[in-house]
């Protein structure tokens, strides 16, 4: 799970920083003059190391953005509308409130396993967060549902089961109750 990897990277780097702060604080018990020019030399090295880490980090991650690529054609399209306080998901476009209402009570949309699915996500009122939780309840993908815009989220599901959609953008008093559901088969 990418979240846990990020968590451990954070723990390691933050832990190192805290150790350095403790070391520096304890050094004041043995006060002495320091060579400022030598310290500036350390700073220069630190600058290049940090820059190298950041450039490597950018190189490793900038190509892995979740945004749709034009050279990919989705195998299936799911239309999504967010509205206080439910998501309507459908195989065909949802164009008005009646269609939205009908979809919130309909049987869950089904999407094929190992296929590239495109969710076309919009909102009929305020901003919502269209956030897909796996059957194990891990947040695996998300995009915003915005009034006046259609955000295209593409996901390839490699695990069958019932997926839940939670709202991750504060949308009012029923925000925590807002949900949608679809099945991967």
Sign of CA dihedral 63, 66, 69, 73: positive
Q: Which of 170, 181, 174 lies closest to 129, judged by CA?
A: 170
CB of 182 to another protein, least distance (A): 14
- Select 110 or 137, whichever has its Cβ closest to another protein: 137
CB of 171 to another protein, least distance (A): 7
CB of 11 to another protein, least distance (A): 9
- Select 5 or 185, whichever has its Cβ closest to another protein: 5
CB of 79 to another protein, least distance (A): 15
- Select 51 or 113, whichever has its Cβ closest to another protein: 51
Q: Which of 86, 128, 85 lies closest to 103, judged by CA?
A: 86
**Cβ(121)–Cβ(87) under 8 Å?**
no
Measured CA to CA, the distance from residue 87 to residue 169 in angstroms comes to 13
The first and second tokens of residue 33, run together, are: 């003059």
Residue 126 CB: number of other CB atoms within 10 A? 16
- Select 67 or 105, whichever has its Cβ closest to another protein: 67
């Amino acid at each position: 799970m990418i979240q846990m990897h990020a968590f451990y990277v954070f723990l390691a780097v933050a832990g190192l920083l805290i150790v350095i702060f403790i070391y520096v604080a304890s050094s004041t018990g043995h006060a002495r003059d320091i060579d400022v020019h030598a310290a500036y030399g350390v700073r220069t090295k630190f600058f290049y190391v940090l820059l190298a880490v950041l450039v490597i980090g950018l190189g490793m991650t900038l190509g892995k953005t979740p945004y749709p690529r034009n050279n990919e054609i989705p195998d299936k399209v799911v239309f999504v509308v967010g509205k206080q306080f439910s998501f309507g998901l459908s195989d065909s476009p949802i164009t008005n409130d009646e269609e939205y209402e009908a979809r919130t009570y309909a049987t869950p949309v089904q999407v094929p396993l190992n296929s590239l699915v495109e969710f076309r996500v919009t909102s009929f009122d305020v901003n919502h967060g269209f956030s897909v939780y796996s059957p194990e309840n891990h947040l695996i993908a998300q995009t915003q549902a915005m009034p006046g815009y259609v955000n295209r989220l593409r996901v390839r599901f490699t695990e069958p089961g019932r997926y839940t959609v939670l709202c991750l953008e504060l949308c009012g008093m029923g925000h925590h109750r807002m949900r949608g559901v679809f099945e991967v088969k």
